[in-house]
A and B are shown apart, each in its own frame.
Chain A
């Protein structure tokens, strides 16, 4: 048996061609793989770009609709999407929380002022919502730019590992970008989001009682519950706003001189894949998400006054947390209230003072 046919030159050409192909793939295999990866990243990039453009367009449309500004706000919005926040240096971390809080406060004030200029006719709730909506559009913008950065860098350096890195995190970033896109949609219309489940628990408890502002954009009400007095805290709604729960806890503890027998915090908590969304469970410790400033303050003051902290959490994933509230999650509000009441009965005595903190974003949730 001969692999080279005696009669045909064509057969020889085919075989040489195959050999050449095998040699090429041995020596340039990695390069070919890189091209495939680059192409994959490139095609994802167009998806991210479409999402970013959609976010920008939606933001501009909504701002125009709500704000009724005479001249075009587009340039201002584009500038907003490119803003950056520079956190304080952490070489000497003592006291960094206060510096960070200051930077975030300044950012918040700046954003609100910017939004007022973009949308002069917007009321307070709408300003809160527009601010968070623009935040989502900015997040979509930065995700796109980061992927583009690694894509172009990978192309420039032809380094397999830099391309591999971005290719590996693409699926996660896509989930994140989708979550931001649906958050943008929900918040632009003022719909409650999954993260608000804690705030909703507090809202239902405090509805109908006298409320006052205890910290910036955060309210407290004294509510009689199960023969105890509860200080119920939540962020002021129905604008998109998380308030300052840590500051509020600190101030209530100061006002009552630490005479609080327990603090119960209710919040949404990241569910693991495979866990059921909307399940309500408990734990201990301060449950406040975000960058950590509020959690730090709460940690400090509960330690100072030696107050035990119980947590009640509702399971949901990141997509649920920032998109319009799902049925399963709103259905978990009553079980969460039941759980809070059970904790009160089990952990405290009649006539005690307690604190119930509904943590989360109050968009679409009044009080």
Chain B
């Protein structure tokens, strides 16, 4: 595995710089708005304008931050629950147990505890966890 194998994240600091600049502008805009409202000759229209600028700037930077946030490499490889059904064809005795390596459908397994007839694996299936059901 050499260097070229992994993607470099060179664009990350650049976008971070843009976000920081926008945040600084927004804060200055809010400061200006406060000044406009509280000055000896208040001008509410100007104050509103700066507040709008500030809000737009903050919203933009928040959006960009969300986009930049690195998605953790999470992969759903949680173990699946796979069950094996063993059936006695003579008396109908049925047993469901977790899958074991070596099991396969139509494999003869241990004799039936009730009638001593050979039992067979009749099905192997995966049960869905609730989350995956749609």
Contact = CB atoms under 8 A, between A and B. Distances in A.
B107 A42 contact: no
A74 B64 CA distance: 43
Contacts of B107: 238, 366
B58 to A, nearest CB: 13
Given A1-B46, A21-B22, A39-B12, A326 B128 contact: yes
Contacts of B37: none
A365 B105 contact: yes
Contact of B71 (A5, A7, A43, A49): A43
Contacts of A38: 11
Nearest to A148: B7
A2 B31 CA distance: 17
Q: What bracket does the count of chain B residues touching chain A fall in?
A: 35 or more
Interface string B92-122: 0000000101111111000000000000000
B71 A47 contact: yes
A366 B124 contact: no
Given A191-B99, A364-B104, A327 B127 contact: yes
Interface in A104-145: none
B106 A207 contact: yes
A251 interface: no
A165 B67 CA distance: 19
Instruction: Name the prevailing secondary structure of the A interface residues.
Output: helix
Contacts of A54: 75, 77
A178 B80 CA distance: 13
Interface in B47-87: 49-50, 53, 67-68, 70-71, 73-77, 80, 82
Contact of B124 (A18, A46, A192): A192
A35 interface: yes
Contacts of A43: 70-71
Interface of A: 1-3, 5, 7-8, 10-11, 13-14, 17-18, 21, 35-36, 38-40, 42-47, 49-51, 54, 148, 151-152, 178, 181-182, 185-186, 189-192, 200, 203-204, 207, 237-238, 323-327, 329-330, 364-367
Given A11-B32, A326-B125, 17 more contacts: A5-B43, A10-B31, A21-B22, A38-B11, A54-B75, A182-B80, A185-B80, A186-B80, A186-B82, A190-B101, A192-B124, A200-B105, A237-B104, A238-B105, A325-B125, A326-B126, A327-B127
